[in-house]
Copies of this chain bind each other. A is one copy, B any other.
Amino acid sequence: MPPDEFRAHGHDSVDWAAEFFAHPERWPVQSRNRPGDVRRQLPASPPEGPERMEDILADFRRVIVPGITHWNHPGFLAYFAISGSGPAVLGEFLASALSPNGMVWRASPAVAELDEVVCDWLRQLLGLPPDFRGLLYDYASTATTAALAVAREAVPGLEARELGLAARPGVSALRVYCSEHAHSSVEKAALLLGIGRRNVVKVPAVGGVGGMDAGALARAVAADRRAGHTPVAVVATAGCTPTGAIDPLAAVAALCRREGLWRHVDGAYGFMFGLVPELRGAFAGIELADSIVTNPHKILYCPLECSALFVRRPEAFRSTFSLVPPYLRTDDVGVTNYNDYGPQLSRRFRSLKLWFVLRYFGRRGLVARLREHVRLARLFAGWVEAAGGFELVQLPTLSTLCFRAHPEGVSDGPGLDRFNRLLLEAVNADGDVFLTPTELAGRFAIRLSVGHIRTSEHEVARAWELLRDGCARLAQQLRTGATALSAS
């Protein structure tokens, strides 16, 4: 593409994005597409000759954008938010214009060194001790897999890296422990690493919605030892996906130390709130971990992907993952070749957007925004608690909470689950906000998580208005027989 053409379409694209940022209300948060809507509008085969960029961009706006569920929208209260903040999007743009591959230092020195600097800035912001070193991965799934690979390697006499796990007659089943509310990435890591899903021991959460029960964890480890299994690691979660709950980090760390287990903390969502001084106490004991993952692409205003793993013994990652073929051998001294520290060889330039974000907002700006997410979640929880016809499943520890409608006349059970499912669909159909469901102790619940950089009281209040109105309308339809709660 000639540079002048790139300039013109680049300016148009920037203008489109600026308009999208200025007027999110013009787009429904959740896409209204039905399955196949995008596919049906596109040709079945690629074009033979070139097409004009104007036409391609027009199709982007016409076909693609309506099929996007807008994560980068202040009304996004679903899953865990991802914000493409202004500085981060500019960082991504410049990184892709340069297109470096930071696989080894020499392949782009600035990529390796900015990773290092920015990770250490983030470590300081999170209040972690200086013996933690940060490694940037793509997703927390990869970071947790890497940590558990290193934990597996630390099992005495195993040598999984070299010998593998099969055909090792003396080796017993490797066991990993986590909360019943831990992220599915723990099971995926166990599956990948040859540990096996069934060797991930799910420890009950206190009261079904709180942190992992430390006593139950200790009993599970003891029972496994008696059964001849090999406990390897505990994954504590700081901010569980369904509830936002934080596992008892200090108790888990103490148990791990006694038992010689790897202490990994999945703080992908939650630990970023460690930036906020008055919230730091909730993470007491996290500094005793062997590895901690937290995602700038969740609650630090970066688009996908950028996940930071803080580790105490980077050399253990290097000895688990390093393979240096001749075409990657370099003799540079005092540098880090980051492909030696994880499963993938190639590496995007992830730190540029994070550097832009940390500088553009500064510590104070980030703390203020994170604090506001928590304030909004607590405000919403207060509304739910105060209202009739709703029940709060749990108070928000951070910025995530679960609740359900419980109107008079609908008894607890499948009927109430269905009522809430219909309510959630009605709220999301409006387009101003997007919330997602979860299940706690086998019961359907509505989940709200605040984390988009531009979410304000306006969106949270709108969600509450839609919920109350939807609840009243559904209850009315039930009374008139227009809706039934029998299984669909």
Cβ B69 vs Cβ A82 within 8 A? no
Cβ B13 vs Cβ A90 within 8 A? yes
Nearest Cβ in chain B — how far from A16, in angstroms?
Answer: 8
- CB<8 Å pairs between A and B, sample of 19: A1-B86, A3-B18, A6-B89, A13-B14, A13-B97, A17-B97, A33-B110, A38-B113, A46-B358, A47-B359, A47-B363, A53-B86, A67-B108, A92-B96, A160-B194, A167-B172, A167-B229, A183-B325, A304-B346
Nearest Cβ in chain B — how far from A93, in angstroms?
Answer: 5
Whether, in the assembled complex, A64 has its beta carbon less than 8 Å from a beta carbon of chain B, the answer is yes
Cβ A35 vs Cβ B105 within 8 A? yes
Chain B residues with CB under 8 A of A66: 110
Whether, in the assembled complex, A456 has its beta carbon less than 8 Å from a beta carbon of chain B, the answer is no
Partner of A346 from the list B9, B111, B141 (CB cut-off 8 Å) is B141
Q: How far is the CA of A12 from the CA of B100 in the complex (A)?
A: 21
Nearest Cβ in chain B — how far from A354, in angstroms?
Answer: 10
Tell me the residues in window 116-164 of chain A with beta carbons closer than 8 Å to chain B beta carbons: 116-117, 120-122, 124-125, 138-139, 141-142, 145, 149, 152, 159-164
Q: A20-B97, A163-B196 are in contact. List 5 more A-B contacts (CB 8 A).
A: A50-B362, A95-B303, A166-B171, A166-B195, A169-B169
Tell me the residues in window 1-36 of chain A with beta carbons closer than 8 Å to chain B beta carbons: 1, 3-7, 9-11, 13-22, 30-31, 33, 35-36
Query: By CB atoms of chain B within 10 A, which of A22, A185, A196 has the most?
Result: A196
Query: By CB atoms of chain B within 10 A, which of A33, A96, A242, A359 has the most?
Result: A96
Cβ B15 vs Cβ A7 within 8 A? yes
Taken residue by residue from 62 to 74, chain A's Cβ proximity to chain B (1 for < 8 Å, 0 otherwise) reads as 0111111111100
Cβ A96 vs Cβ B99 within 8 A? no
Chain B residues with CB under 8 A of A163: 196, 198-199
Q: How far is the CA of A335 from the CA of B36 in the complex (A)?
A: 8
Whether, in the assembled complex, A478 has its beta carbon less than 8 Å from a beta carbon of chain B, the answer is no
Q: How far is the CA of A68 from the CA of B135 in the complex (A)?
A: 19
Cβ A360 vs Cβ B149 within 8 A? no
Tell me the residues in window 73-97 of chain A with beta carbons closer than 8 Å to chain B beta carbons: 79, 82-90, 92-97
Query: By CB atoms of chain B within 10 A, which of A100, A362, A436 has the most?
Result: A100
Nearest Cβ in chain B — how far from A318, in angstroms?
Answer: 13
Residue of B nearest to A198 (CB): B162
Tell me the residues in window 326-365 of chain A with beta carbons closer than 8 Å to chain B beta carbons: 326-329, 332-335, 343-348, 352, 355-356, 358-365
Q: Given A6-B21, A242-B326, verify A70-B46 contact (CB < 8 Å).
A: no
Q: Given A48-B363, A343-B192, verify A84-B99 contact (CB < 8 Å).
A: yes
Q: Given A47-B358, A162-B198, verify A13-B93 contact (CB < 8 Å).
A: yes
Residue of B nearest to A125 (CB): B46
Partner of A89 from the list B68, B93, B297 (CB cut-off 8 Å) is B93
Whether, in the assembled complex, A60 has its beta carbon less than 8 Å from a beta carbon of chain B, the answer is yes
Partner of A195 from the list B20, B70, B194 (CB cut-off 8 Å) is B194
Whether, in the assembled complex, A431 has its beta carbon less than 8 Å from a beta carbon of chain B, the answer is no
Whether, in the assembled complex, A174 has its beta carbon less than 8 Å from a beta carbon of chain B, the answer is yes
Q: How far is the CA of A270 from the CA of B108 in the complex (A)?
A: 24
Q: Given A11-B14, A97-B17, verify A1-B172 contact (CB < 8 Å).
A: no
Q: How far is the CA of A37 from the CA of B260 in the complex (A)?
A: 40
Tell me the residues in window 426-442 of chain A with beta carbons closer than 8 Å to chain B beta carbons: 436-439
